[in-house]
């Protein structure tokens, strides 16, 4: 036999003193602490004075019966989680269903068989202990997560301004050098070229860092429910055109073609226009980023009765079933790698998913490894 959960406090409720004594002795002999109560009212008073770990509750009692006591305990958030085991005579079995309905976890029949009583008590104490531990860990985890998010938020926020300054100064240097009068001297040309190259790289890198920091800030803001959305009727046709035009230069650099198949009539959805651009840019830029050079990308706009879909289909490497389960998680950098040296933080789709869901939409991916991927966003129609 395992040792009992020492010092567990058990409330025993029965209007028959003899039963209280018998059960009390069995439990005390096993090392438990026992709190006896002779009526329903008495039981509720005891519970308020000290929360027990488990309650053994007589089903039939005068005045307030066990069912009513149990109902009240389960209605109170403070006592809700205490397991209740009913004590019943074998001729009261028909009440048992009600007992379970009001929230009991088990029952023991009178006259008591001590080993059975102890086994049930131990099981439910262990279960409660395990449940309490899980809840405690859960609370601790969400506290730590909150702390981590706060730290990330502060770090990202404090990094954004200096990075912005670096980007700005790099732009200034590039402009200054570009506007200097050309000199015929060979060393001067060499120096000017080197300065331009290095400053160009500083500019590119710091811009990428600003984007990363902005992604982190976005992810945090959404997670904390601090993202402000301005939902309005938004025509997706021009929005998609705008997104595709910004993605065309990087696609062309990889000899990729982006095709748009859309309806000629306005297709209005209820969405935040700026956030919608961000969502679609993420999907189209992923198609460009993960497809090999020379492939084609198809963007389709489809209208249904209640909703509007945007599909972004690529001819890239596709995703395995396992990768698909991780796709919308944070920092998911999966098997597919950028094909043109682009940057990847694995945050884009996690932000997309949160943004889409905040606007009452859905986003998912349909893909088979080796056969390209299709990302589908569904917006509620305006």
Ligand X SMILES: Nc1ncnc2c1ncn2[C@@H]1O[C@H](COP(=O)(O)OP(=O)(O)OP(=O)(O)O)[C@@H](O)[C@H]1O
Which stretches of the chain bind ligand X, using CB under 6 A? Answer: 215, 282, 286-287, 289-290, 314, 316-317, 319, 327, 332-334, 336, 344-350, 373
- Cα atoms in the 13 Å half-sphere on the side-chain side of 344: 19
**Counting contacts by CB under 5 A, is residue 348 touching Mg ion?**
yes
Specify the residue, 230 or 325, whose C-beta has the smaller distance to ligand X. Answer: 325
For the bound state, the minimum distance from the C-beta of residue 286 to Mg ion, rounded and expressed in Å, comes to 4
- Cα atoms in the 13 Å half-sphere on the side-chain side of 289: 17
The secondary structure element, H or E, covering residue 313 is strand 307-313
Specify the residue, 266 or 329, whose C-beta has the smaller distance to ligand X. Answer: 329
66 touches, from Mg ion, ligand X, none (C-beta below 5 to 8 Å by class)? none
Residue listed under structure tokens 């053994």: 56
Specify the residue, 87 or 287, whose C-beta has the smaller distance to ligand X. Answer: 287
Rounded distance between C-alpha atoms, residue 106 and residue 56, angstroms? 10
215 touches, from ligand X, Mg ion, none (C-beta below 5 to 8 Å by class)? ligand X
* Other Cβ atoms within 10 Å of 178 Cβ, number: 9
**Counting contacts by CB under 5 A, is residue 286 touching Mg ion?**
yes
Specify the residue, 102 or 352, whose C-beta has the smaller distance to Mg ion. Answer: 352
26 touches, from ligand X, Mg ion, none (C-beta below 5 to 8 Å by class)? none
Contacts of 240 (CB under 8 A, 6+ apart): 260, 262, 280, 299, 301, 310
| Angle of helix 348-358 versus helix 186-223 axis, rounded to 10 | 40
Q: What sign does the CA torsion over 68, 71, 76, 78 have? A: positive
Q: Tell how far CA 214 is from the center of its chain.
A: 20
Cis status, amide bond into 111, omega within 30 of 0: yes
317 touches, from ligand X, Mg ion, none (C-beta below 5 to 8 Å by class)? ligand X
DSSP SS3 for 302 = strand
For the bound state, the minimum distance from the C-beta of residue 332 to ligand X, rounded and expressed in Å, comes to 4
**Counting contacts by CB under 5 A, is residue 316 touching Mg ion?**
no
**Counting contacts by CB under 5 A, is residue 247 touching Mg ion?**
no
23 touches, from Mg ion, ligand X, none (C-beta below 5 to 8 Å by class)? none
For the bound state, the minimum distance from the C-beta of residue 370 to ligand X, rounded and expressed in Å, comes to 11
For the bound state, the minimum distance from the C-beta of residue 277 to ligand X, rounded and expressed in Å, comes to 15
Specify the residue, 166 or 277, whose C-beta has the smaller distance to Mg ion. Answer: 277
The angle subtended at Cα 124 by Cα 142 and Cα 35, nearest 5°, is: 105
Q: What sign does the CA torsion over 243, 233, 328, 147 have? A: positive
Please identify, among the stretches 138-146, 286-294, 321-329, 357-365, the one whose residues bind Mg ion according to the rule CB under 5 A. Answer: 286-294
Specify the residue, 276 or 286, whose C-beta has the smaller distance to Mg ion. Answer: 286
Specify the residue, 224 or 333, whose C-beta has the smaller distance to ligand X. Answer: 333
Q: What sign does the CA torsion over 199, 205, 206, 208 have? A: positive
For the bound state, the minimum distance from the C-beta of residue 115 to ligand X, rounded and expressed in Å, comes to 57
**Contact residues for Mg ion, defined by CB under 5 A:** 286, 348
């Amino acid at each position: 036999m395992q040792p009992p959960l020492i010092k567990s406090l058990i409330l025993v409720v029965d209007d028959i003193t003899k039963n209280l004594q018998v059960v009390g002795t069995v439990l005390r002999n096993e090392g438990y602490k026992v709190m006896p109560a002779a009526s329903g009212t008495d039981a509720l008073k005891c519970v308020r004075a000290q929360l027990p770990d488990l309650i053994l509750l007589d089903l039939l009692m005068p005045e307030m019966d066990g069912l009513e006591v149990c109902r009240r305990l389960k209605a109170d958030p403070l006592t809700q989680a205490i397991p209740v085991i009913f004590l019943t005579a074998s001729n009261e079995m028909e009440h048992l269903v009600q007992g379970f309905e009001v929230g009991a976890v088990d029952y023991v029949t009178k006259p008591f068989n001590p080993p059975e009583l102890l086994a049930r008590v131990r099981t439910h104490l262990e279960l409660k202990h395990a449940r309490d531990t899980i809840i405690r860990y859960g609370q601790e985890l969400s506290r730590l997560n909150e702390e981590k998010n706060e730290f990330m938020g502060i770090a990202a926020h404090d990094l954004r301004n200096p990075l912005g300054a670096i980007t700005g100064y790099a732009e200034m240097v590039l402009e200054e050098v570009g506007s200097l009068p050309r000199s015929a001297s060979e060393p001067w040309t060499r120096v000017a070229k080197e300065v331009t190259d290095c400053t160009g790289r500083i500019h590119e890198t710091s811009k990428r860092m600003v984007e990363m920091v902005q992604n982190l800030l976005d992810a945090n803001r959404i997670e904390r429910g601090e993202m402000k959305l301005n939902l309005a009727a938004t025509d997706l046709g021009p929005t998609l055109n705008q997104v595709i035009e910004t993605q065309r230069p990087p696609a062309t650099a990889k000899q990729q073609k982006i095709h748009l198949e859309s309806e000629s009539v306005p297709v209005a959805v209820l969405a935040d226009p700026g956030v919608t651009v961000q969502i679609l840019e993420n999907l189209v830029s992923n198609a460009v980023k993960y497809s090999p050079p020379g492939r084609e990308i198809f963007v389709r706009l489809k209208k249904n009765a209640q909703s509007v879909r945007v599909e972004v289909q690529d001819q890239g490497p596709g995703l395995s079933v396992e990768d698909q389960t991780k796709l919308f998680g944070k920092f998911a950098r999966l098997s597919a790698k950028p094909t043109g040296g682009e940057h990847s933080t694995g945050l884009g789709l996690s932000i997309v998913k949160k943004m889409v869901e905040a606007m009452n939409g859905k986003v998912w991916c349909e893909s088979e490894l080796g056969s390209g991927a299709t990302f589908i966003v569904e917006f509620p129609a305006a």
